[in-house]
């Protein structure tokens, strides 16, 4: 873990962080091939890739009964936790619902119509990284937005369904599920096949092949975002509990070797106690080797003179997760401009936001919180402008349209008001 006190070293560190999320041209080539195959040969190519990567030839679609049966394999505790999370996530996202509006000026009506997307595809990773929380976080906002058709793709290595994913899908009432994964699943949702109808938007995380495929089909369909490795930045002062700080840093670091954990503090004393705590807690972690590697590569403690300076650093890095463990965390809020989610106070560890707080855990990474937002209901709607002009309004607006259209050399544009004036 790097200790940073110097501005130049900080700038070098930021550059290193930003380089984490670049894609590999080699992977792009092989993903492009898969996309083209699915586009050309549909279900046939889909079956071929599924056999190759997931080692099974089961029907693409998974029946609702099969999902519900498998869902019963989970414990009561897990079921209750999923229900608890589902309710809280839904409640938060319901506050994001926007309404269409219009206003009138004489016989001119102007407005903004907001409608849900018609059909959305959600990708759920299979195997090791099969997270039920992700199922909830990706699908609930679409449901709240009013999306009627939600198709889910989940790879089933060796044909094995994951009971926890099934439980999450069953709780959400999802009926259309396909056992496919990887770039081929993204292609199927983007282009459509004989079995799978083309969607309007694809959401959900995945490995580098899935992420690359999403990037390549963007424009053909919409996508949520390309999530990079996870990040946490913690602003803490002398009042922070070093065990809490250490635990929260480690919770990011265990994600993968590219994850990034940063402490920014004005307290040299905290630096030492956090370092000790990290060493102590690491010993008990099953994923200690991943966490160690992550901290070695992308872990840092940045020592600053003031909390104001800490906020500036947070704004420069624009972290996915930003924790504030200071004596008066609310005081810093107006200074914090770029972050996916902000966690205030000693009792708000980031994992509370991952699972049950309510806000979405799909957040902008790699500094993109400068311009991107958390996944939300607004990602599952589209807007249309509404314009209705009556004869009076037309007479008021037409002369200006004529001047500007003529100025821009668009005579047929000007003509649309001229022909109407002569009637």
User: Which amino acids are annotated catalytic?
Assistant: 320-321
- Confirm if 148 and 229 have CB atoms less than 8 A apart: no
Site string for a second copy, 349-368 (x = CB under 8 A): xxxxxxxxxxxx--x----x
Residue 122, SS3?
strand
- Confirm if 296 and 2 have CB atoms less than 8 A apart: no
Token pair of 404 as six digits: 């500007």
343: phi then psi, degrees, rounded to nearest 5: -115, 115
Asked if 250 touches a second copy (CB under 8 A), the answer is: yes
Asked if 118 touches a second copy (CB under 8 A), the answer is: yes
Q: Which residue has the tokens 């700038």?
A: 11
Asked if 285 touches a second copy (CB under 8 A), the answer is: yes
The residue among 60 and 341 lying less far from a second copy, judged by its C-beta, is 341
Among 253, 283, 299, 302, which residue sits at the site for a second copy (rule: CB under 8 A)? 253
Asked if 19 touches a second copy (CB under 8 A), the answer is: no
Stretch near a second copy under the rule CB under 8 A, chosen from 43-51, 62-70, 181-189, 406-414: 406-414
User: How far is the C-alpha of 119 from the C-alpha of 134, rounded, in Å?
Assistant: 19
Asked if 347 touches a second copy (CB under 8 A), the answer is: yes
- Confirm if 263 and 301 have CB atoms less than 8 A apart: yes
β pairing state of 321-325 and 341-344: parallel
Site string for a second copy, 316-335 (x = CB under 8 A): ------x------xx--x--
- Confirm if 185 and 199 have CB atoms less than 8 A apart: no
Minimum CB distance to a second copy, residue 2 (Å):
20
Token pair of 318 as six digits: 């624009």
Contact set for a second copy, span 260-279 (CB under 8 A): none
Report the residue count for the chain. 423
CA atoms within 13 A on the CB side of 279: 7
Q: What is the DSSP string of 72-95?
A: TTS-HHHHHHHHHHHHHHHHHHHT
| 361 labelled ligand-binding | no
Number of continuous H segments (helices) and E segments (strands) in the chain: 16, 15
Asked if 96 touches a second copy (CB under 8 A), the answer is: yes
| 2 labelled ligand-binding | no
How far apart, in Å, are the Cα atoms of 190 and each of 156, 194, 360?
Answer: 20, 13, 24
Contact set for a second copy, span 25-84 (CB under 8 A): 77-78, 80-82, 84
Contact set for a second copy, span 144-203 (CB under 8 A): 164, 200-201
Stretch near a second copy under the rule CB under 8 A, chosen from 170-178, 266-274, 303-311, 395-403: 395-403
Stretch near a second copy under the rule CB under 8 A, chosen from 4-12, 24-32, 55-63, 341-349: 341-349
| 408 labelled ligand-binding | yes
Minimum CB distance to a second copy, residue 259 (Å):
11
Token pair of 113 as six digits: 């119509």
Site string for a second copy, 206-235 (x = CB under 8 A): -------------x-xx---x---------
| 255 labelled ligand-binding | yes
Binding-site sequence positions for substrate: 230, 252, 255, 321, 354, 408, 413
């Amino acid at each position: 873990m790097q200790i940073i006190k110097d501005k130049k070293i900080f700038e070098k560190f930021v550059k290193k962080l930003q380089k984490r999320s670049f894609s590999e041209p080699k992977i792009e080539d092989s993903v492009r091939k898969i996309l083209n195959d699915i586009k050309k040969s549909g279900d046939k190519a889909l079956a071929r890739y599924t056999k190759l990567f997931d080692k099974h030839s089961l029907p693409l679609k998974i029946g609702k009964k099969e999902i519900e049966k498998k869902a019963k394999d989970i414990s009561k505790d897990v079921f209750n936790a999923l229900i608890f999370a589902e309710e809280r996530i839904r409640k938060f996202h319901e506050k994001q619902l926007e309404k269409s509006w219009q206003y009138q000026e004489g016989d001119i009506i102007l407005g903004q119509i907001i409608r849900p997307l018609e059909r959305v595809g959600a990708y759920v990773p299979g195997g090791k990284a099969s997270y039920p929380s992700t199922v909830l976080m990706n699908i609930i906002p679409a449901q709240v937005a009013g999306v009627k058709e939600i198709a889910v793709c989940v790879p089933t290595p060796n044909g094995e369904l994951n009971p926890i994913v099934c439980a999450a899908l069953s709780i959400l009432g999802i009926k259309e599920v396909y056992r496919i994964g990887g770039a081929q699943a993204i292609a199927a949702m983007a282009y459509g096949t004989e079995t799978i109808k083309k969607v309007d938007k694809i959401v959900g995380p995945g490995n580098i092949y899935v992420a690359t495929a999403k990037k390549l089909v963007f424009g053909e369909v919409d996508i949520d975002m390309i999530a990079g490795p996870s990040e946490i930045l913690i602003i803490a002062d002398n009042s922070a509990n070093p065990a809490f700080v250490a635990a929260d840093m480690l919770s990011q670091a265990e994600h993968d070797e590219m994850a990034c954990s940063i402490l920014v503090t004005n307290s040299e004393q905290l630096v030492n106690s956090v370092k000790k705590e990290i060493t102590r807690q690491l010993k008990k972690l099953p994923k200690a080797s991943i966490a160690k590697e992550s901290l070695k590569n992308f872990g840092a403690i940045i020592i600053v003179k003031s909390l104001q300076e800490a906020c500036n650093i947070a704004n420069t890095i624009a972290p996915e997760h930003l924790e504030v463990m200071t004596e008066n965390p609310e005081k810093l809020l107006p200074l914090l401009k770029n972050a996916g989610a902000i966690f205030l106070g000693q009792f708000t560890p980031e994992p509370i936001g991952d699972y049950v707080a309510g806000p979405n855990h799909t957040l902008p990474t790699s500094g993109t919180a400068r311009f991107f937002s958390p996944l939300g209901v607004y990602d599952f709607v589209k807007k249309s402008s509404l314009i209705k002009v009556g004869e009076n309004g037309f007479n008021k607006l037409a002369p200006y349209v004529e001047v500007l259209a003529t100025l821009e050399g668009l005579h047929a544009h000007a003509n649309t008001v001229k022909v109407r004036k002569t009637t």
